[in-house]
Amino acid sequence: MTARILDGTKIRDAIFAELKDEVAILSSAGIRPGLAAVLVGENPASAMYVKSKIAACQQLGMGSGLITPASSASTAELLAIVEDLNRDNDTDGILIQVPLPSQVDTKRVLEAVDPAKDVDGFHPVNLGRLVSGRPGLVACTPAGCLEILRRNEIPIEGANAVVLGRSDIVGKPMALLLMHANATVTICHSKTRDLPDVVRGADIVVAAMGKAGFVQADWIRAGAAVIDVGTNRVTDAREAERLFSNFPARLEKFRVKGNVLVGDVHPDAANVAGAITPVPGGVGPMTITMLMSNTVRAARMRRAKTIPRTISAGGPSSLGKR
């Protein structure tokens, strides 16, 4: 393996240390950043995600609250909860854990969140601010990818960046962040022609498709930086062998556990790329990190405009120079 490993857990630890100081400063001024999570029903995966977000709040000394409406909750009930949280001065960030039950109008509920408290960065107002390069709250996963590039001093300005995937929560905001950081950005999707050739032209590849090991090593330009957002659980033995034939330790783990986590980029790409995020341990840890950063930022923007900043993560600097 020749690529430098872009370790998301290390960056998370560094940002957490910065955030802890920031939270202490804000709290001593009477402003304790607080996140409220709304977890509807009994989805075990959602419950696990929310639990880890609340644990992160506690680790940083932030306030946290959990509201758990029943799985039968209606759109009107959830809108009322969101309204209460919008009005609550101690709540800086509102997290509606998706997916919501099928009877709920998810878009309506997400759009009812006050954009100043929209720490997921999903609200159209925040997306609009991102489009026009104004300060706002940016979706956590793409903000985390940018932070990985910046903190590893990977040159973005003038680079050819290829983003694979155009979802509202990853691909589109990622492309906008890279464009504002002065990369030349190509966005690819399922109808893109000659995908391997497009990827071969990239200095920076961000893969966010949800297709296990789809991006082949020979698509990657030697020395390119690869950010692998994909998180795919492989349970098929033949698929595991296709992916990990050069990684006996991972194959052995698969044999013991019966499943393995893999990104959208074939693991062999690590022999060609200059730098690459591992899966797990690359982009994954950054998503919660940027949620915490967004919550602290939301507290500052709404309640603490006059207290000096100590950190840069997720701040307006994420938009880069334009």
Q: Provide the annotated active-site residues.
A: 53, 97, 120
DSSP codes of every residue in 114-174: -GGG-TT--SHHHHHHHHTT-S----HHHHHHHHHHHHTT---TT-EEEEE---TTTHHHH
Is 238 a residue that touches ligand NAP (CB under 6 A)? no
- β-bridge partners, 178: none
The region of 198-206, 215-223, 247-255, 281-289 touching ligand NAP under the rule CB under 6 A is: 281-289
Tell me how far apart the alpha carbons of residues 299 and 79 are, in angstroms, rounded to a whole number.
Answer: 22
- For the record, the structure tokens of 130 come out as 């991102």
Calculate the alpha carbon distances from 100 to 44, 73, 79, 116, 200 in Å: 13, 9, 13, 22, 39
Tell me how far apart the alpha carbons of residues 119 and 132 are, in angstroms, rounded to a whole number.
Answer: 19
Is 260 a residue that touches ligand NAP (CB under 6 A)? no
CA dihedral 52, 55, 60, 63 (to 10 degrees): 110
- Bridging pattern class, strands 260-262 and 232-234: antiparallel
Residues whose CB is less than 8 angstroms from the CB of residue 192 and which lie 6 or more positions away in sequence, other chains included: 198
> In the bound complex, what is the minimum distance in angstroms from residue 196's beta carbon to ligand NAP?
10
Peptide bond into 280 cis (omega under 30): yes
Is 27 a residue that touches ligand NAP (CB under 6 A)? no
> In the bound complex, what is the minimum distance in angstroms from residue 284's beta carbon to ligand NAP?
4
Closest CA to 296 of 311, 276, 317, 280: 311
**Do 293 and 309 touch, CB atoms closer than 8 A?**
no
Among 4, 151, 211, 302, binds ligand NAP (CB under 6 A): 211
- For the record, the structure tokens of 194 come out as 């000659």
Is 240 a residue that touches ligand NAP (CB under 6 A)? no
Is 62 a residue that touches ligand NAP (CB under 6 A)? no
Is 316 a residue that touches ligand NAP (CB under 6 A)? no
User: Which residue of this chain has its Cβ atom nearest to ligand NAP in the complex?
Assistant: 167
Residue closer to ligand NAP, measured from CB, 171 or 267: 171
The region of 87-95, 153-161, 187-195, 217-225 touching ligand NAP under the rule CB under 6 A is: 187-195
Residues numbered 125 to 164 that lie near ligand NAP (CB under 6 A) are 141, 164
Among 169, 240, 275, 313, binds ligand NAP (CB under 6 A): 169
Among 163, 170, 185, 205, binds ligand NAP (CB under 6 A): 170
Is 25 a residue that touches ligand NAP (CB under 6 A)? no
**At residue 84, what are phi and psi to the nearest 5 degrees?**
-60, -45
Residue closer to ligand NAP, measured from CB, 164 or 298: 164
Tell me how far apart the alpha carbons of residues 19 and 24 are, in angstroms, rounded to a whole number.
Answer: 8
Is 284 a residue that touches ligand NAP (CB under 6 A)? yes
Is 233 a residue that touches ligand NAP (CB under 6 A)? no
> In the bound complex, what is the minimum distance in angstroms from residue 6's beta carbon to ligand NAP?
13
Which positions touch ligand NAP (CB under 6 A)?
A: 141, 164-167, 169-171, 188-192, 195, 208-211, 229-232, 283-284, 287
